[in-house]
Chains A and B, each alone.
Chain A
Amino acid sequence: MARNPQLNRHGELQHLLTTEGLPRDVITRILDTAEPFTGVAEREVKKLPLLRGKSVFNLFFENSTRTRTTFEIAAKRLSADVINLNIATSSTNKGETLLDTVDNLAAMQADMFVVRHASSGAPYLIAQHLEATGRDHIHVINAGDGRHAHPTQGLLDMYTIRHYKRDFTQLSVAIIGDILHSRVARSQIHALTTLGVPDLRAIAPKTLLPADIERLGCRVFHDMREGLRGVDVVMMLRLQNERMEGSLLPSPQEYFKFFGLTEEKLALAKSDAIVLHPGPMNRGVEIDSAVADGRQAVILPQVTFGIAVRMAVMAMLAGGNA
């Protein structure tokens, strides 16, 4: 069997490309490692020296101010030097290939690449290229590739769920919205099934569901009221207007009517159910303001935990490989 491309010979994390196939103990270890990092923000000096002298390159071939910022903060709290490259507006416009860009930056002594790309598999390609050319001291973190994966988002969601609900093996979890276009949903589904969630539900209109969704371990619902009944965790997805091709949806208003999370629909879930959203939110499209700002929403804690989880991933990648 081929080696998991994310793990080194000793089974330690070498790259973080996807939550798919990531062993349960590695996921648990990332979540455990993130815990002590949550306290750093409350200190006088919000920095730890773990990545001192290391260079982290944020390679964003697709714009995302928020995700880039959270990686930047995480790297800086670990004392790394951070170089941001918005390549969407740079050398690829001049015709340079992806791997030429990577080779150039590797020659500038990069220690870590955080990669966001519109094409699924781009971070994997970079990781393979680095290993094939004997530069396996450089680590790659996928910050979102096409419709494929967004592992740090999936992991920070797992951290958030564990923080409020402790035991994954007792939970009913519903993922709601545009699952078809969502790399976040895929990363969530793989992590949730690996962590042993017994009841995983996908709630979406038929046009926004991938064909093989049941094979990933989800029960499918097209009626939100049916799907939300008795769940512990409600994971909303952003309606990706920019990814809508043709006529998948009649209108945002109609989407809200059927798949928008309102207080009235949320009341069907357990009374202590939590509501997650990866941001940025479309209020009044997939989520009502009363829910987004309500007592069950844990959307802002997700952001805070996200920094700690990204610090944990970076610290685990950079340590022990000298």
Chain B
Amino acid sequence: MSLPDAEKLLLDLADRMRPHVTPDTALVGLHTGGVWLAERLHGLLGLAQPPGSLDVSFYRDDYAKRGLNRDTRSSALPFEVEGGHLILVDDVLHTGRTIRAALNELFDYGRPARVELAVLIDRGGRELPVAPTYCAATLELPSGSRIKLAREADTLSLRLVQE
């Protein structure tokens, strides 16, 4: 199947977000694809706050079964979470479990005034009541496959991965 152009989707996502952000809005990218997107969106939207990053490995609900991710990174939120307007950024929204974990982690840093969710692609298959605030495309995927964001020389692209 042919996948959409990630760079085009990124511009589209920025257009959707632009009317709703203020200079104080802070982006929080989810490792790894979401961090790349947050960096690019930060420039496209001209935000003042540096983008943050979350690695939700410590908050995943399948930890007891699968153990820790081999390359867990530190989360970094270089702004005040308390009372802020935050937008979680991820590449693909699927079951919603990653977002659940991200919200849990976020609230361990403070109580934001508002949290929204921006994703490049919504592929359906939700297992939790989670919906994106901003979404550039919806996509039906054959079961047993998933899409992955890749970055080469600052250019983003989507890849289909068979599991």
Contacts and interface: CB of A to CB of B under 8 A. Distances in A.
B58 A320 contact: no
Contact of B55 (A12, A32, A36, A319): A36
Contacts of A47: 108
Interface in B43-71: 55, 57-59, 63-68, 70-71
Contact of B64 (A32, A38, A39, A319): A319
B79 interface: no
Contacts of A32: 71
A29 B72 CA distance: 11
Given A319-B68, A320-B65, A35 B74 contact: yes
Contact of A33 (B64, B72, B82, B108): B72
Interface residues of B, number: 24
A39 B75 contact: yes
Nearest to A32: B71
B109 A45 contact: yes
Given A29-B70, A36-B58, A39-B75, A50 B109 contact: no
Contacts of A12: 67
A49 interface: yes
Contacts of B76: 39
A48 interface: yes
Contact of B63 (A39, A45, A319): A319
B4 interface: no
Contacts of B82: 44
Interface residues of A, number: 22
Interface in A300-317: 315-316
B72 A49 contact: no
Interface residues of chain A: helix, strand, loop or mixed (majority) = loop
A248 interface: no
B59 A48 contact: yes
Interface residues of chain B: helix, strand, loop or mixed (majority) = loop
A319 B67 contact: yes
B104 interface: yes
Given A48-B58, A320-B66, A36 B109 contact: no
Contacts of A35: 74
Interface in A36-59: 36, 38-39, 43-45, 47-50
Contacts of B125: none
B159 interface: no
Contact of B66 (A44, A45, A49, A319): A319
A211 interface: no
Contact of B67 (A38, A45, A48, A316): A316
B73 interface: yes
B65 A44 contact: no
Given A36-B74, A48-B59, A43 B67 contact: no
A12 B67 CA distance: 10
A48 B76 CA distance: 15
A47 B73 CA distance: 16
Contacts of A1: none
A322 interface: yes
A320 B67 contact: yes
Contacts of A36: 55, 57-58, 72-75
Contacts of A33: 68, 72
Nearest to B55: A36
Contacts of A315: 58, 68
A21 to B, nearest CB: 22
B63 to A, nearest CB: 5
A48 B57 CA distance: 10
Contacts of B71: 32
A49 B65 contact: no
Nearest to B73: A36
A256 to B, nearest CB: 41
Contacts of A29: 70
B69 to A, nearest CB: 9
Nearest to A13: B67
Interface string B63-105: 1111110111111100001100000000000000000000010
13 contacts: A29-B70, A43-B108, A45-B108, A48-B58, A50-B58, A315-B68, A318-B64, A319-B63, A319-B64, A320-B67, A320-B68, A321-B67, A322-B64
Query: Which 9 pairs between the two chains have the least Cβ-Cβ distance?
Result: A320-B67, A319-B67, A45-B108, A36-B74, A322-B64, A48-B58, A322-B65, A39-B74, A44-B110
